[in-house]
Amino acid sequence: MHDLHLMDEPELKKLCMETLSPHFRIVSGDHPDSPECVNFYSGKSLRPDFICYPLKPLRDSGWPDWMFYIEVKDCKGGNGASRMHEMAWQAKTYQDCACLFRLPAFTLVFPDFQTVLNSSPTCAARKTDYADWFSGYMQKERVGELFIYNPDNWKIKFSSSVLYDHGDKRKNFQLLDRKHRGVCQ
């Protein structure tokens, strides 16, 4: 298990890339050649930290051909609650960004909301109730959480439900009903 609240953003991005790159083609939003992601409300170009596409072995095992984004934030900036809200708002904003004529299936935050919330001395005494409630609220915005325990044990959750658990291969892709998004995916 990594001590995520002590890691800075480049370290978190490296961990994310090392863990997920065997399973996804990952494009860094910071790279000058990364595809443009345009917010369809404002028309502004935005840069999610990562744009991810499942590789063939993962698709062959049942993973849908969904593109998604990942927003990475270190726990050092601001207090836990304000940092968590900043991260969530940014992830929600990415949900409204088309990239190469595709909308994301979802946007993930890393680290998870509870880790970010509890990293601050002003919020460390909070119970998990707020982070749990907040993750449930963000599920409605199609913002989920990425948990990385080690290279072979990672999962994606929306509120208290697991979308995919790489450790035990549990999956529930019906968790995100795509009907309202039309033909973008």
* Domain carrying residue 67: 4-181
* Residue 153 pLDDT: 92
* pLDDT for the residue 178: 55
Mean pLDDT by 10 residues, the chain (185 residues): 79 95 93 86 91 95 93 80 86 91 92 82 63 83 92 90 92 73 41
- What pLDDT was estimated at residue 113? 85
Q: How many C-beta atoms surround the C-beta of residue 131 within 10 A?
A: 22
Q: What is the pLDDT of residue 107?
A: 95
> For the whole model, what pTM was predicted?
0.89
- Model pLDDT, residue 185: 43
Number of folded domains that form the chain: 1
∠ Cα 36 70 151 (to 5°): 130
Nearest to 175 by CA among 156, 184, 162: 162
Q: Residue 1's pLDDT is what?
A: 57
